[in-house]
Structure 1
Amino acid sequence: MIDLSRANPLRDPQDRRLPRIAGPSVLVIFGVTGDLATKKLMPAVYDLANRGLLPPGFALVGFARRDWADQDFAEIVHDAVQKHARTPFREEVWQQLIDGIRFVPGDFDDDAAFAQLKQTIIELDESRGTGGNHAFYLSIPPRFFENVVDQLRRHGMADQDGGRWRRVIIEKPFGHDLESARDLNRIVSSVFPSSSVFRIDHYLGKETVQNMLALRFANQMFDPIWNNNYIDQVQITMAEDIGIGGRAGYYDGIGAARDVIQNHLLQLLALTAMEEPTSFDARQLRTEKQKVLAATRPPADIDAHTARGRYTRAWAGGRNVRGYLEEEGISPDSITETYAAIRVDIDNRRWAGVPFYLRTGKRLARRTTEVALGFKRAPHLPFDNTDTEELGANALVMRIQPDEGITLRFGAKVPGTQMEIRQVNMDFAYGGSFTESSPEAYERLILDVLLGDPPLFPQHEEVELSWQILDPILQHWENSGMPPQDYAAGSWGPMVADEMMARDGHVWRRP
């Protein structure tokens, strides 16, 4: 039996009621001027401090190509915190943080800048008591990873000595195909041991994603039906109602499949389909997820069971929004998709014959992320056809965002003298059941890095298995030379996606 109390690394192992507090450490953020650092990372650091989860011996160092002094960077952090932090601003917490904030200007190939960075963190070890423990957050494009990790090696900042730890945090994408993912792993692992490499998939830090494990393994009622005897299909959706915004430089050439399916959706698939681990420690969780990913195969007929789309100008959300090819920085010849849907199958005893449908897109009808399990119809219904006209298949929907919760859809009798059955929803919302607010995903993940707790971070084996699933699809799309099918902004995607489902006798769920 799994001890679920072990699943939460925010809890002190000696007393599960107490939060775990990070030890003394320095967090260095490369690319600190980017949106991720401004909107997520720096506010998350403040929120952790505000919740008492960072020690007095903590310091934050920014590294970027800016002519800033320490006080300039501190002002940037202050503004980011006031605008984006989840918890209220408190002056005493800010004063504790500001004493440990430093900034180092320079390029990634600037030896003098990295020498200055080393001297800065040595001084912080002495003045702030950070203990020689250093985490390096690479919030930068992957093409700069090799430069940065090599500089850290050459300047001795990656050395694991004297019981002090050095860790590196990598943001997705983890390569753009299997070959580049292996190259990236080779570069990083040549400097940092695998136990010191933390690959960030922020979806795994979401409270509702982790609650998928609680739903499955803390409730005996679900385990007997969590298999191909009862489940007809699984749909995993991440829909966004926004366009690419200012991310043209990153997004064009990457596309929806690489951006979301390879990491977020295949990780959700692994958590949904994996067998029960013997415990919730990192090794056991990774083992079970890897088994699922190793058994997952792309469709035999890629044309029939995949779909690509690209949003076009239309009215969405009460305004006329431009199409993808009209976005600033996008070439009119671009064939990058903003919508991708694929069917995959899992070749094991539990899931054989159950199709898993993964879809993601931008400028769709609404923002939602969910995992929906559709159940098989009852083999016999002792009702007239007219009694069950409204009756569809049962479904269990795990809502990841924005309305976090669980919906169970089933048939119930309509009040009255006749036997009329209609579909109804039984709904559970996290916000209405717990007084504690959920921490933001990056709070959880940054704290886990500082604690050295890796259950929520995919290792390179999972990354490579995910690329093995997606690579044949991407290569087929590229070789076909066909552009993505247009769909109107504000719709639920291209017609080809509906046709893909119709071939299997299914339809997409409308969240």
Structure 2
Amino acid sequence: MEPPISLDGEDIRNEKLKVLRSIRKLEPKDVILGQYKTSGGAKVDACLNGLTPTYFAAALYIDNARWDGVPFLIKTGLGLIKHQMEIRIQFRNVPGNVYHECIGHNMDRAVNELILRDVPDEAILVRVNNKVPGLGLQLDSSELNLLYKDKYNMEVPDSYEHLLLDVIDGDSHLFMRSDELAAAWNILTPILNEIDKDNMSVELYEMGGRGPVGAYYLWAKHGVRWVED
């Protein structure tokens, strides 16, 4: 969102609403649905019907001046290898990168990232490509790590503790307004309608794995490679 004119809850929600209303209509071709299974291929939960997804991935675009052409890739799911919540910002390579021959075509090494992690441990991580010390010209990927629990000798409150305290204090800046909620549903409702019409397929993925393979093809289609830890 754009910077609000103040830290007042209404000003923050106004800017959040503008972003939600600027999100381009989500197309089924930019969505991957998945459902977990056992290693033998059977469904884990017998109550799941053929179209009940346990995984969702999508590529979103925000049609405004700041984010024009920048893909926002989101994924969430059950039964994955990790319980993790984070935002990853990948920086594009500059044109005419003279170090390209040193990096090669390994996108894991070529991508610089800023990672804002909320779960399991709050942290700010920066992954950068750097030259290895010495007389050669070898590049490596390094991580700068600010782990809150190590940096600050205090118990870090979880998200719900923050929200409950805000309720007591009458601070509403983290809460959604009704028009925000409606704008968010407008993004997903067309996809939900397609699911109800049996127009979208659900890809099976192994319980305890990394999710449907189709999600990685979706990232590649939009010029992004998901770098696994």
TM-score by shorter chain over 0.5: yes
> Residue by residue, what CA displacement relative to the aligned partner does 1:438-468 show, whole Å, maximum 9, x if unpaired?
2232222222222222111111111100001
Within 1, Cα distance between the matches of 2:78 and 2:56?
10
Per-residue deviation, 1:339:
0.3
Q: Give the 5 Å matches for 1:83-162.
A: none
Note if contact 1:501-1:508 (Cα within 8 Å) is conserved in structure 2: yes
Letter in 2 for 1:308: L
2:30 aligns to what? 305
Residue 63 (structure 2) aligned to one of 332, 341, 347? 347
2:132 aligns to what? 414
Per-residue deviation, 1:483:
4.7
Asked which structure has the greater CA Rg, the reply is 1
2:195 is equivalent to residue 477 of structure 1: yes
1:436 aligns to what? 154
Distance verdict in 2 for CA 1:324–1:463, change over 3 Å: farther
Distance verdict in 2 for CA 1:501–1:443, change over 3 Å: closer
SS at match of 2:61: strand
Within 1, Cα distance between the matches of 2:170 and 2:97?
54
> Residue by residue, what CA displacement relative to the aligned partner does 1:392-446 show, whole Å, maximum 9, x if unpaired?
1211111111121111111111122111112211111111111221223222222
1:375 aligns to what? 91
SS at match of 2:214: helix
Q: Give the 5 Å matches for 1:324-403.
A: 324-326=44-46, 330-331=47-48, 333-383=49-99, 385=101, 387-389=102-104, 391-403=109-121
- Higher relative CO (CA 8 A, sep ≥ 6), structure 1 or 2? 2
Return the structure number with greater strand share. Answer: 2
Within 2, Cα distance between the matches of 1:360 and 1:465?
20
Per-residue deviation, 1:478:
2.2
Distance verdict in 2 for CA 1:383–1:496, change over 3 Å: closer
2:6 aligns to what? 279
1:183 aligns to what? none
SS at match of 1:294: helix
Note if contact 2:51-2:195 (Cα within 8 Å) is conserved in structure 1: no
Task: Mark the runs of 5 or more structure 2 residues left unpaired by the alignment.
Answer: none
Within 2, Cα distance between the matches of 1:398 and 1:380?
29
Letter in 2 for 1:290: L
Sequence identity, in percent? 32
Residue 293 (structure 1) aligned to one of 12, 15, 20? 20
Q: CA RMSD in A?
A: 1.9
2:165 aligns to what? 447
Distance verdict in 2 for CA 1:440–1:403, change over 3 Å: closer
Within 2, Cα distance between the matches of 1:399 and 1:368?
8
Within 2, Cα distance between the matches of 1:298 and 1:510?
28
Per-residue deviation, 1:338:
0.3
> Residue by residue, what CA displacement relative to the aligned partner does 1:255-300 show, whole Å, maximum 9, x if unpaired?
xxxxxxxxxxxxxxxxxxx11112211011101111111101233x
SS at match of 1:325: coil
Note if contact 2:194-2:200 (Cα within 8 Å) is conserved in structure 1: no
Length-normalised TM-score, structure 2: 0.90
Letter in 2 for 1:379: P
Return the structure number with greater helix share. Answer: 1
Distance verdict in 2 for CA 1:373–1:416, change over 3 Å: same
Note if contact 2:51-2:198 (Cα within 8 Å) is conserved in structure 1: no
Letter in 2 for 1:350: R
Letter in 2 for 1:407: L
Letter in 2 for 1:284: D
Letter in 2 for 1:388: I
Q: How many residue pairs get matched?
A: 225
> Residue by residue, what CA displacement relative to the aligned partner does 1:332-361 show, whole Å, maximum 9, x if unpaired?
x34210000011110100000001111101
Letter in 2 for 1:325: D
Distance verdict in 2 for CA 1:381–1:482, change over 3 Å: closer
Letter in 2 for 1:459: R
